[in-house]
A and B are shown apart, each in its own frame.
Chain A
């Protein structure tokens, strides 16, 4: 099959734009088409449709660990050659770029005057990949997830039509927000071509405060106390080598100098030992906070008020299963990421831990489990509606997989 796919691809793409996807995180190897223009992408899509291939759209593949492998993929359609900033209007605070543009390139082009949200860990991930994965970053508490930054998208639908949703202005309610449907759809509905994002003014000052805590639970409680007192950090992160041991609460404060000074004073009024990092030290500490882990990871979210109960459940369940997760908490988002170092993805205890947390009301996401990634379980009516949307926009199932 692969040889035939490569042979047919050669009729619509030059040889240098045909490669091979090696397969990773349970996603099987497949031939890879790397079109460099929307027109080339359309030719590949038409060919795939005629041949009844199953397509997996891909950026640079940096987020595949969080995506359940497809049952069948005949061709990977990569956007990495669809690269470049098509419009950056600093006075307007908007940026338009092709889907395969690396995130780091977008940051570099805008950082002198603007903050690009979300603040992602991997500069080599692409704009389209981040959108397809429904990414959010370290600055989510301040600016929200990526789906809130998207002003407009264009994409190729399965029938070959090039479809636009939204636009290039910062406020717009013209027509349906199809881009909200595409964002987070993991490439199951379309192939993204281009996106426009809103930008925020670059902060004049950034300070990272570090506070020691006796445990992750206490670190989370301190963050909540500061939040109730009016603190509005860009990020609050509790990290600990183990659930029971000492932890550290890091607060990222950013904005106008006076606003940051107000917030530093607020924290210092409530805490004795505060390590204050500024300048390059703050930048380094902030970059460390957004570092993506490489281990199998379980992400659990709940309501802020239910976080202490969830942590208590986690401690009990982890001890009973003989697991020693390395927790990173985002207490103000009520989210905890549990890295499980050295654990084989096939270890049943991973799923058992998840079941315990789900039983305590947590919503779960997984990374690094490959084909064993549990399916999300929306209610039956929502699930049926999602299937109808898939059939409406991709009736022949050209894009591999269905609703995430």
Chain B
């Protein structure tokens, strides 16, 4: 009998299968580096047809499948905790259709977010979701996690932009929902699939809505002495009914890291927080919004307000924010990027609590957050070689999530649950909620072989029990 690797090579070609241990290491985790687990094989199909053939084979063999985009996820969603085969979309990189008139694009799942955005620019359009990892993350990965980004404050997360999908189901059958529909024909399978973290099927093609690029954009960057000052200004912006495209905050440790890195933006030493606000619209509208914003910011006694309208000036103002995660590498070897949401009215209070929680545990916290929609990213700097520090990081992460949930918030705003937040799912959901989720999932994947051990606590779905090692061959 041929090995699974041989059979997969027959389907996708020699370059589409990875089984050498040294190359498998690259797939042992995503960007949540504290949990690693080697897959037994990696397969990289080139299109829907190959993916369907691969999935049919893995179905016959009873092998667990872990879908993977670019591996930039921060919650361990692409980490193969039960072994099995990682199915990567990295070779599905074609833009299949870009229709400027009807304002949609149909792309293969492995298309990189920033590449799609770049193509749209030529047509005067934009693909709105812009996760921080957009230079590398894929549209398929964005679908799996219902990804967000700074501009989702105005435009909404990925789910609002997905018009259609082609999904390969657990047994290799193809669910073709690619046509850009105004409303679903029957149950909203597309809406249900987005954010399902690879547990319902493999998205191979995605049809996305494009929005017109704004005529005028202005960025204002305000430097405050304290984080409180920046948070208060955000509350005022929302209360005033201004509708910026993005509202972002960086705290002092982040500012320090940025200033000591290649992303240095010239932030003054005494700055305790940076607030970045992007406005867009017609010329007269942006001018009026900008004047209103400047007056509002002035009431909170900023150290300085910088403004920029042309592309180069805006890029410079965004540089510190865009480089923030990279810059944190100067503080410690590893970064735990937490992700929680709080009601916007309790932003300041919960930000202060995250600072306290980390201080109590002797941890260094650098916070960057999407202030406009209450999405916190407390980034805890640590060294994974220090077991006690890892323990304290996880404890702090759990504490932060618990307090956010208790305040009426949510466990994750854009990173997903993955492995990282499995335990906390029971803080947020009741056993009945989780049971309903398991039943829904079983309708898509009765054997629960797709991304086992993710999203729903294991004891709720028992999916790991169904997993079979690659070498087990086909069930008798």
Contacts and interface: CB of A to CB of B under 8 A. Distances in A.
B62 interface: no
A14 interface: no
A189 B436 CA distance: 12
A174 B146 contact: no
B412 A172 contact: yes
B195 A168 contact: no
B8 to A, nearest CB: 24
Interface in B338-384: 341-345, 370, 373-375
Contacts, number: 237
A26 interface: no
Nearest to A190: B436
A382 B411 CA distance: 31
A341 interface: no
B433 A168 contact: no
A167 B436 contact: no
A91 interface: yes
Given A201-B243, A202-B241, A172 B182 contact: no
Interface string B182-206: 1111111101101110000000000
A157 B282 contact: no
A171 B341 contact: yes
B285 A91 contact: no
Contacts of A163: 432-433, 436
Interface stretch (A31-39, A43-51, A255-263, A344-352): A255-263
Contacts of B196: 176
A362 to B, nearest CB: 11
A204 B292 CA distance: 14
A392 B442 CA distance: 8
Contacts of B374: 169-171
B157 interface: yes
Among A136, A258, A305, find the residue whose CB has the most chain B CB atoms closer than 10 A: A258
B138 interface: no
Contacts of B428: 167, 174-175
Contacts of A161: 432, 435-436
Nearest to B455: A175
A403 B282 contact: no
Interface string A302-323: 0111000000000000000000
B285 to A, nearest CB: 4
B417 A230 contact: no
A376 interface: yes
Given A164-B433, A172-B413, A176-B195, A145 B183 contact: yes
B156 interface: yes
A157 B436 contact: yes
Given A161-B432, A171-B375, A258 B285 contact: yes
B148 interface: yes
Contacts of B188: 134, 147, 180-181, 183-184
A173 B215 contact: no
Interface in A60-100: 89, 91-94
Contact of B343 (A89, A157, A301): A89
A91 B156 contact: no
B295 interface: no
Among A161, A170, A404, find the residue whose CB has the most chain B CB atoms closer than 10 A: A170
B343 A304 contact: no
Interface residues of B, number: 85
Contacts of A304: 101-103
Nearest to B158: A173
A11 interface: no
Interface string B408-425: 111111111100010001
Interface stretch (B24-32, B170-178, B317-325): B170-178
A173 B414 contact: yes
A119 B416 CA distance: 32
Contacts of A363: 181-182, 185
B152 A171 contact: yes
Interface string B388-427: 0000000000000000000011111111110001000100
Given A333-B182, A392-B440, A230 B412 contact: no
A100 to B, nearest CB: 22
B285 A180 contact: no
Interface string A227-271: 010101000000000000000000000001111011100000000
Interface string B278-308: 0001111101110000000000000000000
A388 B192 CA distance: 14
A2 interface: no
B443 A388 contact: yes
Contact of B187 (A173, A201, A377, A403): A403
A91 B433 contact: no
A173 B99 CA distance: 29
A336 to B, nearest CB: 12
A393 B442 CA distance: 10
Nearest to B344: A92
A204 B284 CA distance: 15
A185 interface: yes
Given A177-B191, A334-B102, 14 more contacts: A161-B435, A167-B408, A171-B157, A171-B375, A175-B428, A180-B191, A180-B194, A181-B191, A184-B184, A256-B289, A262-B285, A305-B99, A305-B102, A393-B443
